């Protein structure tokens, strides 16, 4: 099963919740040309649930999803399924690139298990579960190709979009999301102004956003990303747009 990537066309941070988590307003679009792959395999190297991949899966969010499903009453079914099977994960989406690869893998795993074990969990129930694991997972579970995303990433509203042809570049730079957000927090920001900007952005198509606004206007994390990773400055100065906390960058094909 394919686990598609996503891009943030705009990303405005508009406040903090009572846990001090950042509240955002963003446009997510699905990138079907970039995907990881998950499937069941007969290959086994140890007992119990196992992820087999060239990627280091020791602390993979999929494992957290597995144990969460166990807690919600599906332990016997899962243990029986993975008694003689493993989960094969082929990583194609760059890591630390702002494309949501880990979140997409997790969402795809939930969808896969729901189908294989016929758990009959609705999309909304899966989304409710996913909020205990991570914010971006909800978008991948929604099935939408374009959506305005808010809250901490769990509020998803589909958007009738116009998406131009986009050219992608993947710098060989790992951008740590948590560190980029901490760098963002070092400078004071008027969340009210950001909220008003986001209200304008959420009504515009992706094509209109990329035609009318500059990279730092659309993504609040580009400047802190460059502060932490100076090699990213060349892309900022050459008017590339940034997805998420980086490092994936893009331009509209002319």
Domain 166-252, architecture per CATH = 2-Layer Sandwich (3.30)
Does the pLDDT of residue 254 top 90, yes or no? no
Percent of the chain residues past pLDDT 70, beyond the cut: 99
pLDDT value of position 212: 97
Which phi-psi region, left, alpha or beta, contains residue 212 (left: φ > 0; alpha: ψ -120 to 50)?
A: alpha
Structure tokens belonging to residue 186: 């070092």
Domain boundaries in the chain? Answer: 2-158, 166-252
Candidates 202, 239, 205, 175; CA nearest to 14 is 202
Strand ranges, E, within 55-110: 86-90
Are the C-beta atoms of 198 and 13 separated by less than 8 Å? no
Active-site annotation holder among 36, 105, 136, 220: 136
Active site residue 253: no
Q: Taking CA 66 as the corner, what is the angle to CA 127 and CA 33, rounded to the nearest 5 degrees?
A: 60
The model's pLDDT over 197-221, given as tens digits with 9 standing for 90+, comes to: 999 999 999 999 999 999 999 999 9
CATH ID of 2-158, from 3.40.50.10360, 3.40.1010.20, 3.30.230.10, 3.30.300.20 = 3.30.230.10
pLDDT value of position 244: 95
The model's pLDDT over 73-84, given as tens digits with 9 standing for 90+, comes to: 999 999 999 999
pTM over 0.85: yes
Distance CA 140, CA 30 (A): 8
CA of residue 76 relative to chain centroid, distance: 30
pLDDT value of position 205: 98
Q: What is the DSSP letter of 135?
A: S
Active site residue 85: no
Active-site annotation holder among 6, 12, 36, 161: 6
Are the C-beta atoms of 24 and 12 separated by less than 8 Å? yes
pLDDT value of position 188: 82
Does the pLDDT of residue 57 top 70, yes or no? no
Distance CA 48, CA 11 (A): 40
């Amino acid at each position: 099963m394919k686990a598609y990537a996503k891009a943030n066309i705009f990303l405005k941070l508009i406040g903090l919740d009572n846990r001090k988590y950042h509240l955002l307003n963003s446009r997510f679009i699905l990138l079907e040309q970039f995907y990881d792959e998950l499937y069941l395999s007969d290959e086994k190297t140890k007992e119990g649930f196992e992820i087999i991949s060239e990627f280091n899966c020791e602390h993979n969010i999929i494992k957290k999803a597995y144990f969460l499903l166990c807690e919600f009453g599906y332990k016997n079914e899962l243990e029986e399924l993975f008694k003689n099977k493993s989960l094969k994960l082929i990583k194609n989406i760059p890591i630390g690139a702002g494309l949501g690869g880990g979140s997409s893998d997790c969402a795809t795993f939930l969808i896969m298990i729901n189908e294989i074990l016929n758990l009959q969990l609705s999309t909304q129930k899966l989304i409710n579960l996913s909020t205990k694991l991570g914010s971006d997972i909800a978008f991948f579970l929604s099935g939408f190709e374009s959506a305005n995303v808010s809250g901490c990433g769990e509020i998803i509203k589909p958007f009738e979009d116009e998406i131009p042809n986009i050219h992608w570049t993947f710098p060989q730079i790992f951008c740590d999301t948590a560190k980029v957000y901490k760098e963002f927090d070092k400078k004071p920001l008027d969340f009210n102004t950001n909220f008003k900007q986001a209200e304008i952005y959420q009504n515009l198509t992706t094509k209109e956003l990329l035609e009318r606004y500059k990279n730092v206007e659309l993504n609040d994390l580009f400047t802190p990303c460059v502060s932490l990773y100076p090699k990213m400055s060349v892309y900022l100065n050459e008017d590339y747009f940034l997805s998420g906390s980086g490092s994936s960058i893009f331009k509209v094909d002319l």
